[in-house]
Amino acid sequence: MLCPNCHGSHVLIIDSRTDVQYHYKRRRRQCKECGARWTTVERIAGKVQLRPMEKDIKTPVRKMEDLNKWAEIAKRNGIKHSTFLSRVNQYGWDVEKAATTPLQKRDADT
Ligand SMILES: [Zn+2]
C-alpha cells in the first residue's frame, strides 16, 4: 500500500485490531516518509457461504483430501478417474478398494 499523502511505499502498520463480531480488521498505518497516518479496514467481500457448524466439521475436508489422494493412486493403477469416481459415488465402494481393485469387464456387477 502506498501512502495516500506522498505515495511513498514505506508504510508502517502501527496498530491492528480485529473485530471478531463483524469479521473485519482495522489497521492503523503511518507513512515513514511524510508521517501521515490513516486507517485501513480489511473485511470480507461478498457473501459468506455458510456451513452448518457440525462437531466433526473436519471430516468432510479430510475425506475430500483422501479422495484426491486415492484418485492419484487409481490413476497409477490404470483405473480411469471416471471409473474410480463411479465406484465410490455410485457403487459406494471404499476409496481404497476403488483405487486398488483392478479393472474388470463387468465393473457394475461387483
Ligand atoms: Zn507519506
Helix (H/G/I), strand (E/B), else coil: 55 = coil
Instruction: Give the distance (Å) from ligand 1 centre to CA of residue 42.
Output: 20
CA pair distance 56, 59, nearest whole angstrom: 6
Q: State how far Cα 63 lies from the chain centre.
A: 14
Q: What is the pLDDT of residues 32-51, one digit of tens each?
A: 999 999 999 888 888 878 77
Instruction: Give the distance (Å) from ligand 1 centre to CA of residue 25.
Output: 22
Contacting residues for 105 by C-beta, under 8 A, at least 6 apart: none
Q: What is the pLDDT of residues 58-87, one digit of tens each?
A: 556 667 778 888 999 999 999 999 999 999
DSSP state, 72? H
Q: What is the pLDDT of residues 51-60, one digit of tens each?
A: 776 665 555 6
Instruction: Give the distance (Å) from ligand 1 centre to CA of residue 30.
Output: 8
End-to-end CA gap in the chain: 60
Residue 90 cell numbers, joined: 455410485
Domain definitions of the chain by residue range: 11-43, 58-109
Instruction: Give the distance (Å) from ligand 1 centre to CA of residue 16.
Output: 19
- Cα-Cα-Cα-Cα torsion 4, 5, 11, 13, nearest 10 degrees, comes to -70
pTM, two decimal places: 0.41
Instruction: Give the distance (Å) from ligand 1 centre to CA of residue 23.
Output: 28
